Amino acid sequence: MPSSWPVLPPYDAWRATCDTLHGHTQVLGKFAVALAPPEPQLQHAALRLTGRGWETLPLPAPDGSGAFVVALDLRAHEAVVEHSDGAVRRLPLGPDRSVGTVARELLAAAGELAGEVEIDPTPQEVPWSVPLVEDDEHATYDVAQVETYFAVATRAALVLAAFRAPYRGRATPVNAWWGSFDLAVNLFSGQPAQPPSDDFLMRNAMDSQEVALGWWPGDARYPRAAFYAYAHPAPDHFSEATLEPPAARWEAPLGEFVLDWDDVAAAPDPHAAALAFARTAFRHACAVCEWAPELLASAEGSPPPIR
């Protein structure tokens, strides 16, 4: 039986829409950075992929009136500001509405509902540098491409959630990272780690021993959708592993194991294939990074999360 899982085209085939959507998520992330209480590993800055799209957690209203969320509704194709008192503002995402236009309107809508919000408009982890509120270059929004992306991302998020569910150590939820435009779960050993650099992001996000499993839709570096896995810190021989399914491989330029989405979608059981990648990657990481055996056992369901 052919797979019913959707297939995302190569990055170059939908680059204009992908970059615009990425820019919109950055605006949401800036709201979280400005207002959410700071958490270790910058968890307060992460967004969530929900049943309607990308969304902040409830954020404290600057005027003290309660809480509000900012969302990208990828079903209705709207940016949304929603207050805990029920007030809502909805703004169209397309067609041909730029990141800058939507950003300015979101800030104005948030000001009306929750009080004035000031964000740092500098884009992060992207090859462009125009401030988000001034970005009128990224304005392509193809509805069909966005809907395919959302369908694929939803499947990926379900795999990551299933993988992390039984783990009894500290772990993140399925985070939607607006800088790198990926979905990821991070499992921690409980031990500290030396960050790879003193850069703000690195010294805060990577100060603990961890294994990360994630998915991204492709970018200029790696122009196709894929699951990925890495460990920090990792020994020199970390790349020497054979993971499941057979299509999984070490991608040296990225410094990560990857499993292309097309190989997942073509599998007889795509969910099982992607889950096998996550589990074998974590098993390998625990072995070579010398994590406590109990942590690996818990990730594999021993003891079970529910008895």
pLDDT in tens, 229-278: 999 999 999 999 999 999 999 999 999 999 999 999 999 999 999 999 99
Distance of CA 47 to the CA centre of its chain: 7
- Using DSSP's 3-state secondary structure scheme, residue 8 falls into coil
Cβ atoms within 10 Å of 174's Cβ, excluding its own:
22
In the DSSP assignment, the letter for residue 203 is H
- DSSP line for 72-96: EETTTTEEEEEETTS-EEEEE-TTT
Find the farthest-apart pair of alpha carbons in the chain and give their distance in angstroms, rounded. 56
Q: What is the pTM of this model?
A: 0.96
pLDDT tens sequence across 171-229: 999 999 999 999 999 999 999 999 988 888 899 888 999 999 999 999 999 999 999 99
C-alpha triplet 301, 215, 119: angle, nearest 5°: 115
Residue 2 has pLDDT above 60, yes or no: no
pLDDT tens sequence across 147-169: 999 999 999 999 999 999 999 99
For residue 109, what are its two tokens? Answer: 């809508």
Residue 144 has pLDDT above 50, yes or no: yes
